[in-house]
Structure 1
């Protein structure tokens, strides 16, 4: 890789900053939140509202600081939300209202 090229925030392979961190290889149980986000992505795909490619592009476009702060499925929900807002399927007012009821 070109030493001058800036890596995307998800491109961690060989990055010395992460090479000394131990990799947790233990199986991880899914939380209820994780299951709900996964199910939502499945429904959006089945209804042809959002593709996995759009999900991936959304995740890869999360700013660096946010990307590293968010968990795996929180990255997913951020990308899903951004896609739904961009497509006009969800408005910011609807999102705010939904978040206030939680």
Structure 2
């Protein structure tokens, strides 16, 4: 199953090479970032701008190295940003400005 070409990089269930450490199944405190990302996703869903299915598809579309580098809610934020850019809700320059990055023309 580990070498199954039909499995995508985000489909990690039962893949022993990815089970590097024991999973902490105890309660976890959410960070402020986690809470904000979740609230943003809920708001986008309530406004009909982005569904949970679109969030999932966006997460699954993240390339493998980036997927494994990002944390759980960082993947959510990447998917949200990609979806908002694709729908034209925000522009790349607006996103860069919000992140404090230089504009594309700079």
Tell me the TM-score normalised to structure 1 length.
0.90
C-alpha deviation, 1:13, in angstroms = 1.3
Q: What is the rounded CA distance, in whole Å, between the counterparts of 1:54 and 1:38 in structure 2?
A: 14
User: Shift of residue 3 of structure 1?
Assistant: 4.6
Residue range with higher mean Cα deviation, 53-62 or 21-30: 21-30
Match of residue 80 from structure 1? 80
2:71 alignment counterpart:
71
Write the distance in 1 (CA, Å) between the matches of 2:39 and 2:49.
14
Q: C-alpha displacement at 1:40, in angstroms?
A: 0.3
* Residues 2, 15 of structure 2: 8 Å contact kept: no
Q: Give the alignment of 1:1-102 within 5 angstroms.
A: 3-100=3-100
Alignment RMSD (CA, Å): 1.8
The alignment's TM-score, normalised by the length of structure 2, stands at 0.87
Distance 1:81 1:57, change over 3 A: same
Gaps of 5+ in 2: 102-106
Give the deviation of 1:19 after TM superposition. 3.5
Q: Kindly tell me: are residues 3 and 70 of structure 1, through their superposed partners in 2, closer, same or farther at Cα, counting changes over 3 Å?
A: closer
Aligned residues: 101
CA distance in 2, matches of 1:83, 1:76: 10
Q: In structure 1, list runs of 5 or more residues that go unmatched.
A: none
